[in-house]
Structure 1
Amino acid sequence: MLEYLPPLNDHNLPYPDTIHPIVVHFVIAMILFAVLCDCIGYFTHNVRLYEVSWWNLFLATISIFIAIIFGQIEAGLAEPYSAVESTLNLHTILGWSLSGIIAAITAWRYVLRSRDPKTLPLPFLGVGVLLTGLVLFQVYLGDMLVWVYGMHTVPVVEAVREGVLQ
């Protein structure tokens, strides 16, 4: 069965480059922009920003699951060495947790929007700030995986293949 799979390239991937970071950057931008629009809309009483925020949150909820699927595939193909495992595991657990958290926040926002699309309670903004903190921590972990541990970079892939990193 393995002969039907495409060969892995220099990045240890069956396709030209990583897809997870591309998709996840959309999620990050949409979440941060949604929270920003909510805060600006709340303090300026510009209710049109609530609609912008809602759609960004809705699309981020869908996109995070796509990002997780590619993240799981690429993490599995990375052949992580021992130094990277704890960071990768924390990044994975937080990613799955964020998918549930974002889905729950989106559901809460849907209920709020259904009741009155022109108001937003202050506790929702507080949750948005907490969500921003979680997203930024997740970004930090992802940056460590690439820029510190070199996951899917050619030199690290070669070192793992040669047995230098274990």
Structure 2
Amino acid sequence: MFSLPLNSENLPYPDPIHPIVVHFVIAMVLFSFICDVLGYFTHNIRLFEVAFWNMFVAAIAIFVAIIFGQFEAGLAQVYPAVESTLNFHTVMGWSLGAIVAIITAWRFAIRDRNPLKVPPAYLGAATFLICLVFLQVYLGSKLFWVYGLHVEPVVEAMKHGVSP
């Protein structure tokens, strides 16, 4: 079987890619939401267009983030204390992928029917999405900053048999 050499962070490439892509997704979803809310109150249709395109690109990029997240989670040295948080983060990631795709499709239908306004129900669903994104950010931050997944000192300690 073919295996790639892993670096000091237990990855076959210099730095984790998942956080890079996922921060892009987070920014686009948040910016889309802000543009929709501002557009709703100011009636500026250009903001609605910006919101749509940000959500559209985020809907594609989130699956790239999920794929790299799955790959990098598979390479992580997982110890018992990490498992529940990593599993919840994984389930939330796939769920967010589906939710972002559905909300983007809904946003496309809204844009197609009437590009001049966004219904309050959509803004409510987008608010719920933002809450889920914040929960996912918390889980991902915990995996890195608390549990040290793909952090060199933790990886090195695990290679030497020291379990956090």
The whole-number CA distance in structure 2 between the counterparts of 1:107 and 1:17 is: 33
TM-score normalised according to structure 2 size:
0.98
List aligned pairs for 1:26-45, cutoff 5 A.
26-45=24-43
1:79-130 Cα offsets, whole Å, 9 max, x none, are 2111111100000000000000000000111111111111110010111111
Q: 1:6, CA displacement in angstroms? A: 2.4
Structure 1 position 121 matched with structure 2 position 122:
no
User: What is the SS of the residue equivalent to 2:157?
Assistant: helix
User: What is the SS of the residue equivalent to 2:53?
Assistant: helix
TM-score normalised according to structure 1 size:
0.96
Unaligned runs of 5+ in 1: none
CA RMSD of aligned residues (A): 0.9
Q: In the alignment, what sits opposite 2:147? A: 149
Look up the equivalent residue of 1:162 and give its one-letter code. Answer: H
Q: In the alignment, what sits opposite 1:88? A: 86
Look up the equivalent residue of 1:141 and give its one-letter code. Answer: L
User: What is the SS of the residue equivalent to 2:92?
Assistant: helix
Unaligned runs of 5+ in 2: none
Q: In the alignment, what sits opposite 2:162? A: 164
Runs of 4+ in 1 over 6 A off after TM superposition: none
Look up the equivalent residue of 2:153 and give its one-letter code. Answer: P
Q: In the alignment, what sits opposite 2:98? A: 100
Identity %: 62
Q: What is the number of equivalent residue pairs in this alignment? A: 164
Q: 1:22, CA displacement in angstroms? A: 0.2
The whole-number CA distance in structure 2 between the counterparts of 1:105 and 1:163 is: 45
